[in-house]
Amino acid sequence: MLNDYPVYATIATGDLARARSFYEETLGFTAEMEDQAGGVMYSSGATRFLLYESQFAGNATQTVATWMVDDADAMVDELTEKGVTFEQYDLPGLKTDERGIAELGPFRGAWFKDPDGNILNVGTGPAT
């Protein structure tokens, strides 16, 4: 049923202009499409995500999007150079190092927040 179709992340923002600046200038995305309601669609590899304005933005306390990258360490370095600050966690089952990178079995990743406080993740995992 649904497993035959792609899934897209939808990320809420309280200030679309501020969020677009972060996603486009800091993270390097290019807007692919804008809808009449003010949402912006971005391509990311073979997938997409929607950035849209909402009064409920930034309320999520969990990861809202993950980018699987070839090298998590290199991506953390690149994003840090662009001004991104990585989260520090010391939780049962999740402890980050001084750079914000955690190892979870075969997964290696780091978390950061967008201007609305949405938690985003970059990681490297086993080849599929």
Q: Hunting for tokens 């938690």 — which residue is that?
A: 119
Domains present along the chain, CATH in parentheses: 2-124 (3.10.180.10)
Give the pLDDT confidence of 27-48 residue by residue, as tens digits.
Answer: 999 999 998 888 999 999 999 9
Contact 104, 93 (CB under 8 A): yes
Neighbours of 25 (CB within 10 A): 11
Across the chain, mean pLDDT equals: 94
109 bridge partner residues: 102, 123
Residues 46-88 have pLDDT tens digits of 999 999 999 999 888 999 999 999 999 999 999 999 999 999 9
Give per-residue pLDDT as tens, 15-25. 999 999 999 99
- For residue 5, what pLDDT is reported? 87
pTM for the predicted model, two decimal places: 0.92
Rounded CA separation 24/118 (Å): 16
